[in-house]
Structure 1
């Protein structure tokens, strides 16, 4: 059995639109990679980056899978440049489109966490030939996928956050107590799973306050752009994975059960299928082993 406590891979960089962007490529230890590559899209939030996937990658190889894994930092996050700009899903999709074409250079299965499904949608629209399939880990409730936040409102929220007051808020939000409380109330099923590894990763990721611009872009709702018709056009195999206790942070979806959550997506996706696993909203982290077990048969179909 392949065992390793930490996936070790040197950080690599590429240049996109004059920005320095970071990524890692993981492979099984002591064996050659086999199967279709995975492209991971990390969530956006205080301190979040590609490090979100570290536990998933470790477990993937522990369960003896051998697919190569590409794990990039989105612009504004982790070790990628963090310019003072408002980021949209289209911006991040353009970055990943370049990454697919110039670095990966072969079709992948996209594994995307949470509301960054909006980025995966935009990426599919730009480069469908390089996406063989998608896995949606705890995607937003369907009412949020259909929601269109007016551009004027998005810009207003951005301007309010992109201010000295927003800077103060970000410094407050990266405190351990805030991170622990938010994670417990909104993300994890069990408070016991909000562990030191999680909190230390978030604190380290938020140390550079320039990382706030990506977070503010997400909070401004640039991803709320009524993607319902775009989802219907995803004509590739798509696996939707929700937690048995999944919940919506926004008021939309508060009363939707996990079964209804899945049904909404399966009704819209031409080649959709769904599964529930224990956990809540950060399944690749909280329920790592069960998440890997749940998605591996889907990925094996592409080999």
Structure 2
């Protein structure tokens, strides 16, 4: 039996743009006092907050915490302006979302290469200019990128050259090709999922629906152009929040620089640099909240419960 309260799309304004989100809660309303989760979806053809639908259903089969699911600008039901997007842009959007909508501390769950957005968000929260106390209680990194990918910057001229190529009739034609079911199935099988059988109709249908509006290509092309590619080693070393790193046992990297890295090496690299981290390896590849949903929920629930217990003890 479904235990999720039906959620409708809600909106807030950020810098003149209409941004969409939804809040998922248990019908029984037993989440009072529990730390909510802020779920940051990945960027890609057709991706939006719908990436988390399976996770939400599985989560509420045993966990009480509410879930906040924003659509990042350029994705889903949020505005789709024709601009370049950086992690700092999306982090500023989420900062505003935390301060004006959520208004309480959260555990940030971030998928894959959107980790730079979570890093930028924690930096904004810790800055003297922040208008509130730190609202990021902890971090969960679901399938973070290869360590070399996170520490090798792409030069600004390369980023601009790539963007100009994507932001052209050729790029427009490529996006229309990339949103075809055959391409999405092939890419997902080769790069995202551990097995071809896991690339099911639900996954493909969601991507096709999400990519229907060609204006959604700008966020994807910003990501592909590498505007997020910087050296984050120092920023990661300064993360003070308790962090859980979850990596698939067949995790791979799309980038050439990270292809030689094993999942064990990736885990060791993150745990060595993160000040307050622990790690878990699960069966699966690169989209664990979707392909290994039950196992992912079971892996992160104790970590979130421990953060809640610590917060309760401090408040007494």
TM-score range, shorter chain: over 0.9
CA RMSD of aligned residues (A): 1.0
> Structure 1-normalised TM-score?
0.97
Map of 2:58 onto structure 1:
59
Map of 2:80 onto structure 1:
82
* SS of alignment partner, residue 274 of structure 1: strand
Does the CA-based 8 Å contact 1:41-1:113 persist in structure 2? yes
Partner Cα distance (2:252, 2:95) in 1: 31
Pairing of 1:62-141 with structure 2 (within 5 A): 62=61, 64-128=62-126, 129-141=134-146
Pairing of 1:187-226 with structure 2 (within 5 A): 187-226=192-231
Tell me the alpha carbon deviations over residues 95-115 of structure 1, each in whole angstroms, 9 at most, x when there is no partner: 000000010011100000000
Partner Cα distance (1:277, 1:119) in 2: 24
Does the CA-based 8 Å contact 2:3-2:27 persist in structure 1? no
* SS of alignment partner, residue 301 of structure 1: helix
Does the CA-based 8 Å contact 2:4-2:26 persist in structure 1? no
- After TM superposition, give the deviation of residue 7 of structure 1 in Å: 6.2
Tell me the alpha carbon deviations over residues 72-124 of structure 1, each in whole angstroms, 9 at most, x when there is no partner: 00000000000000000000000000000010011100000000001000000
* SS of alignment partner, residue 32 of structure 1: coil
> Structure 2-normalised TM-score?
0.93
Pairing of 1:34-45 with structure 2 (within 5 A): 34=32, 35-45=34-44
Does the CA-based 8 Å contact 2:4-2:24 persist in structure 1? no
Map of 2:176 onto structure 1:
171
Does the CA-based 8 Å contact 2:5-2:27 persist in structure 1? no
Partner Cα distance (2:29, 2:104) in 1: 21
Tell me the alpha carbon deviations over residues 39-69 of structure 1, each in whole angstroms, 9 at most, x when there is no partner: 000000000000000100110001x101011
List alignment gaps of at least 5 residues for structure 2. 127-133, 309-316
Partner Cα distance (1:27, 1:141) in 2: 33
Partner Cα distance (1:184, 1:6) in 2: 30
Partner Cα distance (1:210, 1:177) in 2: 21
Tell me the alpha carbon deviations over residues 141-193 of structure 1, each in whole angstroms, 9 at most, x when there is no partner: 00011011111110110010000000000000000000000000000001101
Map of 1:253 onto structure 2:
258
Partner Cα distance (1:185, 1:5) in 2: 34
* SS of alignment partner, residue 260 of structure 2: coil
- After TM superposition, give the deviation of residue 280 of structure 1 in Å: 0.1
- The reply to whether residue 292 of structure 1 matches residue 291 of structure 2 is no
- After TM superposition, give the deviation of residue 256 of structure 1 in Å: 1.1
Partner Cα distance (2:5, 2:180) in 1: 27
- After TM superposition, give the deviation of residue 296 of structure 1 in Å: 0.4
- After TM superposition, give the deviation of residue 31 of structure 1 in Å: 3.0
- After TM superposition, give the deviation of residue 253 of structure 1 in Å: 1.5
4+ long deviations beyond 2 Å: 5-8
- After TM superposition, give the deviation of residue 32 of structure 1 in Å: 2.7
